[in-house]
Amino acid sequence: LSRAAGRSAWLWCGGLGLAALLAGAVRILPWVLDPDVPARVALPFARGVAELAVEAAVMAGWPIGFALAAQRFAERGEARAMMLLGESPAKTALAQWPVALPLALVLALASALGALDASAPGRMAQDLVDQGRAACAAASEPRTYAIPFVDATWLCAPGSAPVLYGSGPGSLHSVAFSARNARIAGDMRRIDLDDARFSLSSIDAKVHANHVVLRGMSPWTHASNVPPIERALVVVLAAALAAAAAIWASVTGRAKGPLVAIALGALGPLATLGLMRALERADAPAAWYLVTPIASALFPAVLAMMKRGC
């Protein structure tokens, strides 16, 4: 069972990962094809897409692969034979930890890296600014490079330092500015501008300063309140419990057919992702996320018992 479960899980993770990467590539393709956006600016977005794709693929592929392997194990009568020899379904599920460990490590790494960007969106915004400035400095002819998400544009001219032109975030959107460089805080509530020039259309005035610090602004986006380590722990535990519940349901004969096994394997991760999304939108305390692994095991177990009852 362990060998079959490992092969099945990696196969499903690979297939789901490829589908997720293709779906993510569609989102960043317009920027890649836009001549006003340098190719290197798309790299931070590509990194974020890859992290989310790997996380979702392993989180779903691991329980689904284990569920299908256990379902075939039960169909062949091997599960019943093992129970007659005294091995309980719960012990069978827990015995798969050696093949689950590499999956857990990959999932933990992808989840932690993704949480770093989600908890500090300013890191990605700063990366976009830096990549655009580097591309602008290497330009061989006068041109402009747009910076997606930051609502700013680099003005490039050979032999001259790049100049960042844009508008302020939130309530400062009507204020146009130019600067030699910008540094964005992780929570995006502070921006440092070097050699900044502001155009205040409301009072027909222009201001120049060598260094400007903008504080206390509303950020462009909402930062996640879950620390990377806690998110990685919650996601790995949820996937592991979902996989264990799916194996238990299949070994005990509650998963009749591969379609039911796939549904049992996918239900736990879907419940986890949906609950985590709801908690993020509600800005719930980080401790509440520890409830999601329970839901990941409870949903497939309840479905399996309802299936058996029918």
Q: What is the pLDDT of residues 148-172, one digit of tens each?
A: 766 788 888 888 888 888 876 656 6
Instruction: Note the pLDDT of residue 274.
Output: 86
DSSP 202: T
Q: What percent of the chain stands above pLDDT 90?
A: 14
> In this predicted structure, what is the pLDDT of residue 309?
47
Tell me, what's the pLDDT at 172? 63
Q: Given a cut of 90, is residue 1 above it in pLDDT?
A: no
Give, in order, the Cα–Cα distances in Å from 132 to each of 139, 162, 190: 11, 10, 20
What type of residue is 62?
Answer: W
Q: In this predicted model, what pLDDT tens digit does every residue of 240-251 receive, in sequence order?
A: 999 988 888 888
Q: Mean pLDDT across the stretch 204-229? A: 70
- Lowest-confidence segment of 219-233, 239-253, 286-300 by average pLDDT: 219-233
The model carries a pTM of 0.70
**Would you place residue 310 in the very low, low, confident or very high pLDDT band (cuts 50, 70, 90)?**
very low
Residue range 282-286: average pLDDT? 77
What is the pLDDT, as a whole number, of residue 38? Answer: 66
| pLDDT over 50 at 261, yes or no | yes
Helix H, strand E, coil C: the string for 274-298 is HHHHHHHHCCCCHHHHHHHHHHHHH
Question: What is the reported pLDDT for 118?
Answer: 66
Distances (CA, A) of 60 to 10, 165, 181, 291: 11, 43, 42, 18
Classify the C-alpha dihedral 130-134-137-141 as positive or negative: negative
More confident residue, 97 or 176: 97
Assign 176 a pLDDT band (cuts: 50, 70, 90): confident
The per-residue pLDDT for 307 is 59
Average pLDDT value over all residues in the chain? 81
DSSP helix/strand/coil, 201? coil
Most confident of 110-124, 185-199, 201-215, 234-248: 234-248
Which long-range contacts (C-beta less than 8 Å, at least 24 apart) are formed by 183-187? 183/126, 184/122, 184/125, 184/126, 184/129, 184/150, 185/122, 186/119, 186/120, 186/121, 186/122, 186/123, 186/223, 187/120, 187/121, 187/122, 187/219, 187/223
**Tokens read off for 125:** 């915004």
**Average pLDDT of span 175-204:** 79
